[in-house]
Each structure stands twice: as structure tokens, then as C-alpha cells.
Amino acid sequence: MTGFTIGRRAALAGAAACLAAPAIGRAQGTPAAVRIGYAISKTGPNAGGASITTIPNYELWVREVNEAGGLRLGDRRVRIEVVEYDDRSISEDAVRAVERLVNQDRVDFVLPPWGTALNLAVAPILNRAGYPQLAATAVTDRAPQLGQRWSNSFWLLGTGQDAGAGLAEVLGPAKQAGLIGDTVALVSVADGFGIELANGMRPALQRAGFRLTYDRSYPVGTQDMAPILAEAARGNPEVFVACSYPPDTLAITEQARVSGFNPKVFYTGVGTAFPLYKQRFGANVEGVMGVGGVDAASPRFQDYKRRHLAASGREPDRWASSIVFASLEMLQQAIERVGRIDRAAVIRELQTGSFDTVIGTVRLQNNLLTDTWVVGQWQDGEFYGVVPTRKQGARQPIVPKPAWRPT
Amino acid sequence: MSGTALALALAALLALGTVPLLDDGFWLALAINIAQYAVLATAWALFSGPTRYISLATAAFFGIGAYTVAVLGEALPWPLVLLAAGGIGVLVSLLVGLATLRLSGVYFVVFTFGLAELIRQLVTWFEVNVARSIGRYVFVDITQPQIYWQLLGLFGLLLVIGTWLSRSRLGFALRVIGEDEVVARHAGIDTARVKIALFALSALFLSLTGAVMAPRWTYIDPAIAFNMTTSFQVLIMALLGGAQSLLGPLLGVIPLVLLFEVLGANFPNHFSILLGAAFMLVVYAVPRGIVGLLARARRRAAA
Amino acid sequence: MEAVGGVLFSGIVLGGMYALVAMGLTLQYGVARIMNLAYGEFVVAAGFAALWLFTAAQVSPLLGLLLVMPAAFLLNLMIYRVLLLPLVRRARSPGALETDSILATFGLLFVVQGVLLAAFGGAYQNYSYLSVPIGLFGATVTANRLVALLFAAAIGTALWLWLARTRAGTAVRAVAVNPEAAQLVAIDVRRVAALAFAVGGAMVAAGGVLVSMFLTFNAAMGVVFTMKALVVVIMGGVGNLMGCLVAGLLLGLVETAVASWVDPGLTLAATYALFLFVLILRPAGLFGRPAR
């Protein structure tokens, strides 16, 4: 019995040591390394999005900074040391992991998790602890209020309203030019972003003089799109809009193609901008619109694309990937301008400064990045930004979209 | 549990109430996590332990509680919100209890799973088509220590009720049902009513835990609230600890929460594989739950 | 409004897929009494195998079945022998085995998922195979869905013939009905259970390969398949192949009909409501015998 007790106590002590280990042995004074931590969805339902948009960029950035000798603090270069966890796509785990990063590992900066829900879940902790939060993969209509509520938080991916209004900006003039009629079929996935996007679309389309012939949502995980597409295609709408998630985006496009559903404008949601989309549909992507876009002709993007491909073996997606990378460049420049680990000063710099990034020169307004691509279109095998039309690199939209070709 | 043991346990809970005074960061977060699963697993075992009906409805009730807070949190004072959450949970559990009277074994297991998914789908549909948005923001003034203290309070209440139950006629009736339902019926026990009463009691605590935890995440949508992982994790923890005794589930909760934490902290890239392997090891090495292991150790010490 | 013929046809195609994915589980649970929570991970693993064969070696998924199914049979036989047999040996009651198998396969779920993540990453996967339109009865489906359905029907029929006409199959059915009585007529219950588990594993793999031809999947999606299969198996009645088929088709038809005529937002709610309703009316499933 005695042996058992000691064994158990030793085990407990060992476990406690394991739990607390990363906190021990941290040098004071000028840092030997800048410690950067993140909790990201390596497993669970978010893993699909995180492993395409976020993880490759975090890894690419850290590698490039360290290959250059590290972050420049004053006249020294300091290497980045990474602490990473898996939040398993669960809010509670993300909260705990960030508490650990902040209070146990005492990292110098925290990179945000993937997705709207997890960014919101960890926002109060990062706010309380005074860490900057550059949310590059969260889309929420409340972004303006959130930026005010938590002055350390920055919301970079826009809102569903922006995206909805953006599409109306393409469709309105096309209707006036007589290129398309006024009928729209709208389907949306019954989940956060799908619904916000659809909510943004409805009023904007109505203002532009369109009427909805079909407007339904479907549950996350729907595996057969045939009946939904059949209903949406009834009455031959001129415009088809799907506020969808990656698996549905692929399934909807596939079903539209095989059933010969050829609206003049075909718009799908998250996933349209993924390289996987082009890989799957080849030349048939021509003319498909979706959320996001890039200024693909810019040398900065070309260079980024090449480095991303070399580092992760995959091309970046054409929506949030480059924004995630830009957020890291912003963080880096803010830290280097401040010249020391002073999070309050870094937050101030992010609020007011101007940054040179892969998506061009960025200056935040009220903690928001307002000037991003909201509508993109596949043209000549690349997903170009179309709206805002005044933005540099904006392409003219192709309307009507060419019909699906048999493969 | 004896009266003395209960008093000791409650005193221990009071002492644990000081954790937030010592650390309000990581250790409090860990303590909240343990307390959350302690309440969930113990409440789960309250019904499933003695009756041996394995329920996967934990996520359903937890989600009902969390969602009630998301909807009413800013409109009503906190005690009323909790009351509403518990009330709705009990109401649903009574309906479910009446519907599942004839089910047994794995049919009950999968029915409760289907129930959780059905509720999640209906809430989603309602939010999308009636409320016209999905995902709700929870901005209520509940601090982390308050969440922790509420969880400790729920756990203390569970211990008191559990102890009382084991001495009452109801508890005896339950044990007879668990041994053999036919015998129980022949002995004049109204098995249906006993089971439903227990199911509702368990659901009350599961719903309240969901409500207490909701302010922690700022944002709630049906996928977060009605997450099936909750059901499975609670089931596994309770079974590992030992669902037949009041403190058994706790003995499963503590090591598993710590295991998740240690693996997650040290091996973020191989978390899944190591967790699975550790899990299977536990199943083979600790066949009768931790309660069984302790009992054997005690017997050996006595011999 | 969509024509009845089109809805029926789409519904049968979808329902056939559900039945296909559930067939393996009905063997594993109905005969071997193993509640396999890692079931869906094996579906996904087979999907990855098909993807890899198709993209790296240009082997068509249908040909790939000839490779993947025997491999899955052997792998599942090994899993049963090494991992599950100890649990079967120590179990004193069917309930105890159920609890143990839930715990053990829950661990297995994480291991398989972790291996898939390490090997393929978490990103979505999809490949294009037989993706040409076929119009039948007023509905248009892709050829790959139709081919998957036909293969599922063929594999299902083969399984049924094996169960109904062969000695080994008869033994499997006997164990499904009553393990104690089967022992009395000199059937080696454990061997039969191992065989059923392995055959079930091969069926799972067939399901995974076939659905990978038309679904987008990633390493984290296994649990979706586990849950669908559980619902189908329980609704049909544990261990009953016909029940599995009928339940799968019913769910597919209801889902398609609701999507076409009511509201696609209620498809999953309707299928779960149907499932719960069936259980309330028939507590042992459509074709099950009342327990106890």
C-alpha cells in the first residue's frame, strides 16, 4: 500500500511538473528569443479550414523571420520561438490553451485561432491580458462594435454585409446594361458565416432591383445537393448565389455542372477561392464568382504564392490566406518599430500605423481592415478580385459566365 | 457516502473555493474544466450508474442550458436565467423520459444521441428562419471565479442529493432496477416513474452546467452548444472512474482532464494518436474503473 | 415542385449510400457485439486509400476495391484478434462487453484519426472520377453516384448470399440471433465473431472507397459517418441486413423529399425525427426482435 501511495504521489508530482514545465526557466531582461504562441485547430471540424488558410502561413512566417536572423529589436535580431497547441476546434479548449499561453508559457505574443467562434471565445482573455489580436479569419457583422469593445482586437476579414453589398455592386450595373435579368436563387448553409453572408445579400440585392425566386438554407453536412439545386434551378434564375462552406461549394458546383444548370452569374461561398476548387473543376472554373479574391498580377502576391508553395507544397487560397500573412507582417513591423516587447505600444502602432504587406499598404480604421476584396472571379485560371472596383488590380467582371463544358 | 464522508467532501469543496484567490489564469481555467466535468459526469452517473442506461443526451441538456443563457442572458437577472435553463432542461427530460420508456440497451443509447442531434437541428432551423441570424453573443457580467464557484456549488449540491438518494426508498428502488428490471417490477416498484424522476434530476444538473459555462465563450452557436464531444467525454470519464458510486465519476474526471492537458501541452502535433493510445491502455489496464482498482488495492492492503 | 419520379430516384441513390455505409456496422455490432466508435474513421481511411491509389498510381477506385477490401479484411481481423479479443475474454456479460468496446474503440478512433492527420493533413480532399451526368426518371445524377449504388447493391447481394447460402454465413446468422444457443450446436462463437468483424471491416472499406468518388472529405469527418451508420443500424434493427437496407432507403427518401417539397433546412431534423418516431413505435427497430 505504501509503495502504491508513493507511486501515485510521484505520478502526481510528475504530472504537475509536466503541466507547469514551459513556465520554468525564463530569463529576465532583454529576451534571448521572442516567444510566440498559438492554439490552432489541428483536429476537429475546423481543421479543414485552419490547415488551408492559417497553419501554413504561421509556419511560413516564422521560418522566414528566423532565416533572416529573427525579429529586429533595436539594433539586435532576436529569433522567434514557437509554442503551439491544438484547440481541437472546441471553444473551451481554445480558451484554456490561450490562458496557458498567456499565464503559464508567458509568451510575448499570441497568434489568433482560426474562425469566428474561436476568435470570439479567446478575445476576452487576450483583452484582459493586453495582447494584440489580429483576427484574420473571423467574419462577423459585429466587427465594428467588437473593435470598440476590445481595443486590442483587430478584425481584418470584413463582414457579411460588405460581401453581400459587393455582389450587388457587380450585378446592379450588369442588369442595367441588359446583360442579366432580375431573378436570383439564393441558398445558404445554416451556420454562422453562411447566414451572415445571406443576410448581407438579401437587402443589397433587393435595393439593386433583384427579386428572389428561391431562398432556402440547408444544414451543415448535407451530402446530397441534387434536390436543392433542382429546386433552385426551377424558374431558371438569372443569378445563382450559394453562401456555402467548402464541401458544399464543391458539391453544389459539381451538381450544377452535371445537371446543366447554367445561370448567367454563378456565385459560391467559402472554398471557391481554394486551389482545390480549380484543381477539381479545371477550365470549368472560368467565370465562377465567390467571396474573396486577390490582386494576382501584383509582384508581391506572385512572390508570396511562390514562397507559400515552396514551404508547404500547396498554393495559398485566394481569400484569407494572404490576409493572414499580411496580419503577420503587420505584427512584425509593429514590433520592430516599437523595438522592444511592449504589447501596449505594439497595439497602439497597429491602431495608427501604416504597413507594407503582401496585400499592399494597410492602414486600419477603428481596428478594422475595410479595404479588402469582397467579390472575386475565376478568370483565365486565376481568382482575381473584382469588387471594390476602385481597388488596384480590380478586374472587370465577366458576365454572363460561359456555360459549363463537358469534361 | 456516510454523513462524515459527506461533511469532509463539502469541507474540501469549500477549501477548493479558494483557488481563484491564488491564481486567476491558467490554474483557474484548469480548475473550471475539472469542476465542469465533475458536475457533468456525476450528474450523468446519477441516472446512468444505477439504472445502467447509457445516455448520450448530455450534449442535448448541456446545450439547452447554454442556449438559454445565449437567448435570455442579457434580458433577465442571472438567477432567473439559471432557473429558466434548469426548467427547460427538466421539461425536455420529462418528455424524453416518457417517450423512451420501452427502449433498452443500445436502442436507448442511440435514441439519446438522435435526440441531441434533433434538438440541435431544430434550434438551427429556428435561428436561421425565425430569428434570421445564427450565433449569439453572450455579454453578461459573470467573472471566471464566479463560474468556478457556481460549478463547485452545483457539485456540492449533487453530493448532498446523491447521499440522500442512496439512503432513500427511491435510491433503493433504483438499485433494484439496475440489478433486474423484471424483479423490480414484480416487487411493486413503479419502474417507469423512478427512472423518469432520476432522468429529470440528472438533466437539471446537466442543463445548469451548460448555463453556468456559457458566459465563458462570448459566442454560442448550435454547433458549440450541442457538441457531441461533450456527451462522449462525459460518458468515458464516468465509466472510467466508476459510475456505480457517487464519487466514482470524479476519479475518472481528474486523471482524464489532466491527461488531455499534459498531452495537449507537450505533443500538440500527435495529440490524437497519443490520446487514443493512452485511452486504450487505460481500458486494458484498469478493467473495472478506478473505483474497482482502488477497491482491489484496499483488499490487498487488508490481506 | 419536383416530380415524384425524380425525388424517388434521388432518394434511392442517397439512401443506398447510407445503407452501404451502415452494412459493415450491422455485422460488427450485430454479430461480433462490438460497438465500434472508430467505424467512421475506417470509412475515411478507405476514402484516403482510394484517393491515393487514384492520384498517385492512377488506379481507378473500382479496381481499388480489389485491393482495399482484402487489406481491410486482414486489418480488421488483426484488430479483433489483438485489441478486442482480450475484452471479449474478460467480459462477464454482454453489457460489460458493450461498455468496454465503447471505451476501446473510442481510443482507436483517435489513433486512426491521428494517423490520417499525420499522413494526409487536415485539408479537404476530392477527386474527379466518372463525373458525367446521367439523366434518369427526371433527375440528373452523376455517374459516380449511380455506379457506387450499383456496386453497393452487388456487394450487398453477395453478402446476403454468403449469409443465406453458405455454412459460414449460417453460423454468422446463428451467432447474431443467439450466441449461447449457437455454442450448443458446436459453433465456435469467437471465431465466427472475428470473421464477422473482419467481413464488416471489408464492407466499411468498400463503403469508404465508393463514397470517396463523389464526396468531399477530410481526416476529421469520420464521426459523421459513424453517427449516420449507427442511426441506420439501430433503426433497421441490430444485425439485420434487410433492416439496414430499408432504414437507409427510408432516410434517403425522407431527406430528398423534405429537401424538395418542404425545406432543405429541415432535412436532418426530419431524418432524426423519423428515427426517433420509429424507435418509439418499435423499440427494437423496424426488423428487430423485442429485447429481453
Confidence of residue A54 (pLDDT cuts 50, 70, 90): very high
Domain assignment present for A67: no
Which of A316 and B192 is assigned the larger pLDDT? Answer: A316
Measured CA to CA, the distance from residue A293 to residue B228 in angstroms comes to: 35
SS3 state of residue C185: coil
Please tell me the predicted confidence (pLDDT) of residue A25.
38
Measured CA to CA, the distance from residue A277 to residue A296 in angstroms comes to: 17
Chains that touch C (3 or more CB pairs under 8 A): A, B
Cell numbers at C115, concatenated: 494517423
Cell numbers at C111, concatenated: 489513433
Chain A residues whose CB is inside 8 A of the C217 CB are 247
Highest mean pLDDT among A273-282, B177-186, C221-230: A273-282
pTM exceeds cut of 0.80: yes
Measured CA to CA, the distance from residue C192 to residue C195 in angstroms comes to: 5
CATH code assigned at A180: 3.40.50.2300
Residue B227 CB partners (closer than 8 Å, separation 6+): A90, B59, B63
Measured CA to CA, the distance from residue B274 to residue B261 in angstroms comes to: 12
Give B 214-253 residues with CB within 8 A of chain A. Answer: 216-219, 221, 223-224, 227, 229
Residue B186's CB is within 10 A of a number of other CB atoms, namely 9
Residue A81 CB partners (closer than 8 Å, separation 6+): A33, A34, A35, A36
Using CA atoms, how far residue A185 sits from A237, A267, A404, in Å, is 6, 10, 18
Nearest to B224 by CA among B5, B65, B96: B65
Using CA atoms, how far residue C25 sits from A138, A360, B95, C88, C240, in Å, is 39, 54, 30, 18, 11
- Successive 10-residue mean pLDDT values, chain B, 303 residues: 83 86 84 95 91 88 94 90 96 89 79 86 87 81 91 95 87 78 81 88 96 89 86 87 88 91 84 83 79 82 77
Say how far residue B226 (Cα) sits from the centre of its chain: 14
Please tell me the predicted confidence (pLDDT) of residue A6.
41
Question: Contact B211/B35 with Cβ under 8 angstroms?
Answer: no
Cis bond upstream, residue A400 (ω within 30): yes
Please tell me the predicted confidence (pLDDT) of residue A291.
93
The 8-class DSSP code of residue A217 comes to: E
Nearest to B265 by CA among A26, A104, A92, A85: A85
Which of C180 and A337 is assigned the larger pLDDT? Answer: A337
| DSSP character string of A301-354 | HHHHHHHHHHHHSSPPPTTHHHHHHHHHHHHHHHHHHH-SS-HHHHHHHHHH-E
Measured CA to CA, the distance from residue B236 to residue B249 in angstroms comes to: 9
Which of C121 and B57 is assigned the larger pLDDT? Answer: B57
Residue of A nearest to C123 (CA): A48
Q: Which domain holds residue B116?
A: 3-302
Measured CA to CA, the distance from residue B162 to residue A161 in angstroms comes to: 52
Please tell me the predicted confidence (pLDDT) of residue A7.
44
Please give the average per-residue pLDDT across C275-287, as a whole number: 86
What average pLDDT does chain A have? 89
Amino acid letter at C67? L
Using CA atoms, how far residue C153 sits from A127, C156, C159, C208, in Å, is 57, 5, 10, 15
Residue of B nearest to A43 (CA): B272
Question: For C108, which of B105, B121, B280 is closest by C-beta distance?
Answer: B280
Chain C residues whose CB is inside 8 A of the A231 CB are 2, 259-260, 264
Say how far residue B76 (Cα) sits from the centre of its chain: 25
Q: Which residues pair with A133 in a beta bridge?
A: A153
Domain assignment present for C287: no
Nearest to C9 by CA among C274, C272, C263, C257: C257
Cell numbers at A153, concatenated: 482586437
Chain C residues whose CB is inside 8 A of the B269 CB are 118
Please tell me the predicted confidence (pLDDT) of residue C94.
74
CA distance A323 to chain B (A): 23
Measured CA to CA, the distance from residue C233 to residue C43 in angstroms comes to: 16
Domain assignment present for C291: no
Please give the average per-residue pLDDT across A365-373, as a whole number: 91
Confidence of residue A5 (pLDDT cuts 50, 70, 90): very low
* pLDDT exceeds 80 at position C76: yes
CA distance B236 to chain C (A): 7
Q: Which residues pair with A134 in a beta bridge?
A: A154
Domain assignment present for C288: no
What are the backbone dihedrals phi and psi of residue A92, each rounded to the nearest 5 degrees, phi first? -60, -40
Chain A residues whose CB is inside 8 A of the B221 CB are 117, 191-192
Please tell me the predicted confidence (pLDDT) of residue A4.
39
Confidence of residue A212 (pLDDT cuts 50, 70, 90): very high
What average pLDDT does chain C have? 87
Question: Contact C29/C36 with Cβ under 8 angstroms?
Answer: yes
B77, with CB counted inside 10 A (0-12, 13-18, 19+), is exposed
Chains that touch B (3 or more CB pairs under 8 A): A, C
Check CB contact under 8 Å for A224 and C256. yes
Please tell me the predicted confidence (pLDDT) of residue B155.
96
Chain A residues whose CB is inside 8 A of the B271 CB are 42-43, 86, 88
Q: How many domains does chain C have?
A: 1
Residue of B nearest to A99 (CA): B26
* pLDDT exceeds 60 at position A26: no
What are the backbone dihedrals phi and psi of residue B110, each rounded to the nearest 5 degrees, phi first? -75, -30
ipTM above 0.95? Answer: no
Amino acid letter at B217? W
Helix, strand counts (H, E) of chain B: 15, 2
* pLDDT exceeds 70 at position C260: yes
* pLDDT exceeds 50 at position A12: no
Look at A17-31, A124-138, B6-20, C116-130 and tell me which has the smallest mean pLDDT: A17-31
Question: Contact C206/C20 with Cβ under 8 angstroms?
Answer: yes
Question: Contact A237/A185 with Cβ under 8 angstroms?
Answer: yes
Instruction: Identify the residue among C83, C89, C106, C232 best suited for mutation to test binding to B, counting B beta carbons within 10 A and taking the highest.
Output: C106
Question: Contact C27/C156 with Cβ under 8 angstroms?
Answer: no
Q: Which domain holds residue A195?
A: 160-293+373-387
* pLDDT exceeds 80 at position A284: yes
Give A 358-377 residues with CB within 8 A of chain C. Answer: none
Question: For C139, which of A42, A226, A281 is closest by C-beta distance?
Answer: A226
Residue of B nearest to C29 (CA): B106
Check CB contact under 8 Å for A221 and C131. no
Please tell me the predicted confidence (pLDDT) of residue A19.
52
Measured CA to CA, the distance from residue A307 to residue C134 in angstroms comes to: 42
Domain assignment present for A94: no
CATH code assigned at B137: 1.10.3470
Measured CA to CA, the distance from residue C104 to residue B139 in angstroms comes to: 40
* pLDDT exceeds 50 at position A109: yes
Question: Contact B256/B240 with Cβ under 8 angstroms?
Answer: yes
Measured CA to CA, the distance from residue B31 to residue B286 in angstroms comes to: 25
Residue of C nearest to A261 (CA): C140
Q: Which domain holds residue C200?
A: 4-281
User: Which residue matches cell numbers 450559394?
Assistant: A242
Please tell me the predicted confidence (pLDDT) of residue A30.
59
CATH code assigned at C256: 1.10.3470
Confidence of residue A332 (pLDDT cuts 50, 70, 90): very high
Measured CA to CA, the distance from residue A151 to residue A212 in angstroms comes to: 39
Look at B151-160, C42-51, C269-278 and tell me which has the smallest mean pLDDT: C269-278
Check CB contact under 8 Å for A43 and C6. no
SS3 state of residue C231: helix
Question: Contact A163/A180 with Cβ under 8 angstroms?
Answer: no
Which of B278 and A287 is assigned the larger pLDDT? Answer: A287
pLDDT tens digit string along A125-178? 999 999 999 999 998 888 999 999 999 999 999 888 888 889 999 999 999 999
Q: Which helix (H) or strand (E) holds A362?
A: strand A360-363
